Amino acid sequence: MTVVRRAVLTAGGALTALALLAGCGGSGDSPTAAPSSSAAAPGGTLTVVATTNVWGAVAKAVAGPDADVTAIISDPAGDPHSYESTPADAAAITNADVVVANGGGYDEFAEKIADTDAAARAKTITAFDLRPDKADDNEHVWFDPTTVKAVADQIAQRLSQAEPGEAAGLAQRKQAFDARVDQIAQQTAAIGTSRPGTKVISTEPIAHYLLRTAGVADVTPQDFVEAIENETDPSAASLVEVRNALSAKQVTALVFNPQTETPVVAGLRDTANAAQVPVVEVTETLPAGVTDYLQWVDSTRAALARAVGAPA
């Protein structure tokens, strides 16, 4: 049986979504889908295009309410690993002052655009390249506080260069953002301090940096992790090992990505529920109705804390 990781946005579906959302792009503080028009933003408005709404939310926090921040992927069903860019995406990137990409093979469509457009490459901030530990090849760096602050700093610097008159406001917002990231990181670290030796199983390693900050050990078998990442079936032995760990309560919680709907991972959630092992949902894009990066990360932190019995 082949594991189907997630539904992928089709080019037609993406274009439809882009066209619909472009019309309300300036109506609120949340990043919207990339505009279908190639026209530049009017009135000298600072423009940022992010590959996902997570990085779009980070950009919005720094760029401020008057900036035009758009996200190419906002649909929780969309898989950045497999997303195929459209002409509208390329146009939005071309016209942006700054582009924020995750990198590390996560959003390869942005890398492909940059490879064929030197100007796009020059204006792109790649989060994965800013991670402090270059030996750590986990690409889900939006949960790493140091990397997120480095991206915020780059956004502030580059937008200040594009519009020097906005430099003071950008610096102030970036400072406030950093302070809140640090506060959440300290609260996350308190999880492991209050519950030392905590172990969890993960259906996918998207919470890698969150768990590392929390001091919580992810004891998922490596061959299971690699199989899920490669969209193949885990070995029978690793699947039995994971199920036994849950059934015997050898771990405190199951970290579950609800965007990965496969029989294998759904079965693990069922096993955890049957064993009364708490399930912590961790997503890789902002859920519907959530527009604030800091709110999202803090709510994920609190959910992990509650699941393992630490103060939330």
| Lowest pLDDT segment from 6-15, 275-284, 290-299 | 6-15
Looking at 3.10.25.10, 2.60.120.260, 3.40.50.1980, 1.20.120.1200, the CATH number of the domain 191-308 comes to 3.40.50.1980
CA–centroid distance for 85 within its chain: 18
Question: What pLDDT score was predicted for residue 10?
Answer: 34
pLDDT in tens, 174-211: 999 999 999 999 999 999 999 999 999 999 999 999 99
Give me the CATH topology for the region 11-184: Rossmann fold (3.40.50)
Residue 142 has pLDDT above 90, yes or no: yes
Residue 225 has pLDDT above 80, yes or no: yes
Q: How many CB atoms lie within 10 A of CB 207?
A: 27
Question: Confidence band (pLDDT; 50, 70, 90) for 78?
Answer: low
| Lowest pLDDT segment from 21-35, 51-65, 149-163 | 21-35
pTM for this prediction:
0.85
Give a three-class secondary structure readout of the chain: CCCCCCCCCCHHHHHHHHHHHHCCCCCCCCCEECCCCCCCCHHHCCEEEEEEHHHHHHHHHHHCCCCEEEEEECCCCCCCCCCCCCHHHHHHHHHCCEEEECCCCCCHHHHHHHHCCHHHHHHEEEHHHHCCCCCCCCCCHHHCHHHHHHHHHHHHHHHHHHCHHHHHHHHHHHHHHHHHHHHHHHHHHHHHHHCCCCEEEECCHHHHHHHHHHCCEECCCHHHHHHHHCCCCCCHHHHHHHHHHHHCCCCCEEEECCCCCCHHHHHHHHHHHHCCCCEEECCCCCCCCCCCHHHHHHHHHHHHHHHHCCCC
Question: What pLDDT score was predicted for residue 259?
Answer: 83
pLDDT in tens, 252-291: 999 999 887 789 999 999 999 999 999 999 999 998 889 9
From-to residues of CATH 3.40.50.1980 in the chain: 11-184, 191-308
